[in-house]
Amino acid sequence: MIFSGEFHPFRLPVPDLWLDVFQKIKSMGFNGVSFYVDWGLVEGNPGHVSTDGIWSLEEFFDAATQAGIYLIARPGPYINAETSAGGIPGWVLRKNATIRSDDPEYLNATVNYLSTVGRIIEKAQITHGGPVILVQPENEFSTWPGVTDFPSSMNRRYMDFVEQQLLDAGITVPLIVNDNEAMGYWAPGSGLGAVDIYGIDSYPLRYDCAHPTVWPTYRFPFDWQVVHERESPETPFAIAEFQGGSGEGWGGVAEEMCADLVNAEAARVVYKNNYSFGVKLFNIYMTYGGTNWGNLGYQAGYTSYDYGAAITEERGLWREKYSEQKLEANFLKVSPAYLTATSKLGVNGSYGAPASIAVTPLLGNGTQTNFYVVRHADFSSLANAQYNLIVSTSVGNVSIPQLGGSLSLNGRDSKIHVTDYDLGGINLIYSTAEIFTWARGSGSTRVLVLYGGVGETHEFAVARHLGNPTIIEGEDISFHEKGSTWVIRWQVGRNRCVIHVSNLEIYLVWRNEAYNYWVLELPSSHPIGNFSSPSKELVVVKGGYLIRSAKLVDKHLWLSGDVNSTTEIEVISTPVGQLDGLIFNGQQMKTSPTKTGKVSAVVEYHPPTLDIPALNDLQWKYIDSLPELKSSYNDSAWQSCDKLVSHNPRKLDTPTNLYAMDYGFHTGSLLYRGHFSANGLESYIWLNISGGTGFGHSVWLDDTFLGSWPGTGSDATITQNLTIPTTLSSGTQHVISILIDNMGQDEEAPGTDAIKFPHGILGYQLSNHVQSDVAWKLTGNLGGEQYRDLARGPLNEGAMYAERQGYHYPNPPNSHWEVSSPFKTGLSKAGVGFYTTTFRLDFPDGWDVPLSVVLNNSTAGDSTQKNSGINYRCQLYINGYQYGKYINNLGPQKSYPIPEGILNHNGLNYIALTLWAQDPLGARLGGLDLAPSMLIRSDYAKPRPAPQPTWEPRLGAY
């Protein structure tokens, strides 16, 4: 089984941290990761594909190999993924060709990218000893406007073209598809464009994070066995994407509520439902979400792409879902009988259970083992339900529990009960308690870890001829002879029970105790190395926060892991039995014997006192970042908006083309300057502005502020009439300045070209003028598609003066800038201020301390005060990386996790802010804190900083 988690390297732009995330995924019991490549980030400049620095796939592949993680590569060209234009570069959007069609102009645009990235992926295939086992061409290519009998021959030609390029690059591993329609599209044998493995894509819990306890029912899958049999019976049942979290947009709720929507209970109920269908390739999107830093996100997402995933944006493991998934993935890893069992359509009320219970069996097919997946028939039910189950075992049909009482589902829950389950030669006749793992100890010793919810009663049975059960630890346990079996009954409490039946050692733990157990695969020789394989020897330890890996050298167990409190490490099982030593993170531990005959040791946790500066108290330097409002400003270097045509599907409403994308500006803010000669009759200007959901804009006539649009969580365009307050003298020259926050392009449904919807000025009218009286100029990021920052990529910076000059870089030329604080002083009128300061950090080695920049006490709009506007926007730059976009009037994000490596934990840091006050009252920030989420004593590899080029004069900057 491939059990994988989605993780996008581009959302964690510190290559040295990729290993940390891979290890955390691997320690959850997963054996794979699926990832996208974002074409728009690596080929922002047509013809120049970046494959080094933070874009290095090779480093990603090396880290996966080191952690032992198989990879599913998904290079698009279209990826969706809540990225700007779903990964299609801006320069492709302005072509006269439908995106994802077989128009040669579009196809040709993909060639350079696909062949370059294809060749890099090719080298990393498992056939060359690398981690890549599957490649997915395109993404969710399952509809096309007007095509009812999808796919049409056009769709087929395009899909085939993408696949052919990957094959030409040498890809030989199977191709997989991600079909969001679950209609069998592109399944093997379905004609031109068919792939090797068919996969479903599904998000049943949807996206309403504001109501996290409401589980939508309209997309819940009940019959995927049937779908699989109908659409692709010959391939392993694959779910290429399944909902692992959820997302939110501007003005929405915080990501933590998305974690609540798709919580541990959802993972228990909804994922187990998938296992009941016999899924063989299961990929959870997202497993680590990361960050939409540097404008890489689409219009409707904010900076955090935490996604409420199992691993938090800070790389933290404090969500229960992580632990729940660990229980599930480890169980499947040690249950090979699951791979061949036949899944039967679930019937409510069958197998002796009441009608309120759904039972889906996976029946042995070549093995004796059966799996019975049980949940509420109404899967979202919060009821406490009791049931008995008639299961088929080698000792006949048995109604369980046999010793009285009943089994229970308390609230949102689902269970997998097994019969005739092979523990490496010892038969577990049945168990109502769930299996976390089992492992081979030395000789014929087997260790089994069972778990249940506190208060539940469980039962399991083994053959009597094995020997008599002995209780080693705990009390809530009794056993009875039944025919040829021992039936062992366990009342689940918080205390562990351990019982031995001959050489079978059974650990009975309540679920939250099981969360502290870790199963590690021992490394093997080349070519398996650290990759998962059924032949792997396992080590089971009770630890705490995280155990990353284990190795055995001369009966010494070496563990690598992290603790967040003083933690007892107990070795539950190793293939050598008795150990001669235990080494944790390179340190020899003082061990003591446990009651159960194992060893344990205590890892001390003494967190250091960290010197973290109070950002509010630092000296901040300031410059005006809107010098364009001054009459002396010279815009002769600016791009004139002189194009008369556009290939955009939206027809022009203006005499010349004002779509920013058609001038190569695809990211960050946009700044327009409209020159006109007054006739004295001007009374208003009407504007139709587009910037994507959550966008805002501000308008000035010369240096007079006319007004702003502060944005909403739903408007992507807005029309506005702004009054010109004074009469202009006829014949005088004037400039209208419009600053637009450009939120990233939308995603699309195939063939609609919705992602091309232009941003910028869509329409305008200056009263008592013809449109052509206004001559527009435009700037976005300096250089547009020929962007300057090759290290941080094409989307990181926008049109603001300070950005064009590169002042957001470390070491800007600020010695003569004014000293002014964004908190104490701020801006007293509408405009844009740029602030920068520096500070040092010097954290001790061996401590992983995720830090966030947190905005606090934002000004609440006291209109009697200056600097107290409500509507303002900030961009946060850390060592040149835009790592936060804050919109005071929309929110919801206030806390911005900054990974180590973007922030230097041992060295100097440059932090910069653009503060854009949209109200006449100006704006002031309440304060900024640098806040650690946890101090983790960690065996992570300390990352080298991501490339942080410092400021140099930018040639041609205006």
Amino acid sitting at position 913: L
Angle among Cα 293, 297, 300 to the nearest 5 degrees reads 130
CA distance 217 to 928: 42
Alpha-carbon Rg of the chain, whole angstroms?
A: 30
Among candidates 691, 690, 676, 689, which has minimal Cα distance to 721? 689
Instruction: Give least dist CB 67 to ligand GAL, A.
Output: 23
Longest Cα–Cα distance in the chain: 107
| Alpha-carbon distances, residue 173 vs 134, 170, 228 (angstroms) | 5, 9, 22
3-state secondary structure 622-649: EEECCHHHCCCCCCCCCEECCCCCCCCC
SS3 135: strand
Q: What is the DSSP string of 207-250?
A: S-TTSTT----TT--S-HHHHHHHH-TTS--EEEEEES-----T
Nearer to ligand GAL, 81 or 296 (CB): 81
- The minimum distance between CB 186 and ligand GAL, in angstroms, equals 14
Element (H, E) at 268: helix 264-276
Min dist CB 636 to ligand GAL, Å, is 43
Q: Minimum distance from CB of 83 to ligand GAL (Å)?
A: 8
- In angstroms, the CA 312 to CA 322 distance is 10
Which CA distances in Å does 725 have to 101, 229, 684, 686, 722? 50, 70, 8, 14, 9
SS3 134: strand
Q: Which is nearer to ligand GAL, 82 or 513 (CB)?
A: 82
Q: Which is nearer to ligand GAL, 255 or 939 (CB)?
A: 255
Comparing CA positions, the residue from 900, 885, 901, 886 lying closest to residue 933 is 900
Q: Which is nearer to ligand GAL, 180 or 274 (CB)?
A: 180
Q: Taking the complex as a whole, how short is the minimal distance between the CB of residue 887 and ligand GAL, in angstroms? A: 21
Nearest to 83 by CA among 878, 738, 793: 793
Pick 139 or 274: Cβ nearer ligand GAL: 139
Beta strand spans in 771-830 (E): 775-779, 818-819
Exposed e or buried b per residue across 791-825, where buried means at least 16 C-beta atoms within 10 angstroms of its C-beta: bbbbbbbbbbbbbbbbbbbbbbebeebeebbbbeb
Nearer to ligand GAL, 180 or 918 (CB): 180
Residue 814 and residue 807: Cα distance in Å, rounded? 9
Minimal distance, residue 79 CB to ligand GAL, in Å: 6
Could you tell me the smallest distance in angstroms from the CB atom of residue 287 to ligand GAL?
Answer: 12
Residue owning tokens 């600016």:
638
Question: Which residues face 291 on adjacent strands?
Answer: 304
Residues that bind ligand GAL (CB under 6 A): 79-82, 139-140, 178, 180, 201, 241, 247
Q: Which is nearer to ligand GAL, 38 or 803 (CB)?
A: 38
Out of 241, 748, 785, 803, pick the active-site residue: 241
**Cβ-based nearer residue to ligand GAL, 201 or 919:** 201
Nearer to ligand GAL, 178 or 805 (CB): 178
List Cβ neighbours of 800 (8 Å cut-off, separation of 6 or more).
625, 626, 668, 669, 671, 739, 832, 834, 914
Given the complex with ligand GAL, which of 178 and 814 has the nearer CB atom? Answer: 178
Residues 500/506, Cβ–Cβ less than 8 Å: yes
Q: State the minimum distance, in angstroms, from the CB of residue 713 to ligand GAL.
A: 18
Q: What's the CA gap between 270 and 954, in Å, rounded?
A: 53
**How far apart are the C-alpha atoms of 129 and 213, rounded to whole Å?**
45
Known catalytic residue at 570: no
Query: At its nearest, how many Å lie between ligand GAL and the CB of residue 752?
Result: 15
- CB neighbourhood size of 551 (10 A): 15
Q: How far is the CB of 9 from ligand GAL (least distance, A)?
A: 15
User: What is the identity of the amino acid at 15?
Assistant: P
The structure tokens 């006490």 sit at 857
Return the beta strands (E) in 424-542 as ranges: 426-431, 434-440, 446-452, 457-463, 469-473, 477-482, 485-491, 497-501, 504-510, 517-521, 538-542
For the bound state, the minimum distance from the C-beta of residue 61 to ligand GAL, rounded and expressed in Å, comes to: 21
- Write the DSSP string, 761-772: EEEEEETTS-GG
Closer residue to ligand GAL, CB minimum distance, 215 or 834: 215
DSSP character at residue 867: T
| Beta carbon nearer to ligand GAL, 80 or 299 | 80
* In the complex, least distance from residue 177 CB atom to ligand GAL, rounded to whole angstroms: 11
Catalytic residue among 43, 82, 140, 785: 140
Cβ at position 573, least distance to ligand GAL in Å: 38
Backbone angles phi, psi at 100, to 5 degrees: 70, 20
3-state secondary structure of 255: helix
Q: Has 328 been annotated as catalytic?
A: no
* Dihedral (CA of 538, 544, 549, 553) sign: negative
180/532 with CB nearer ligand GAL: 180
Which residues are tagged catalytic?
140, 241
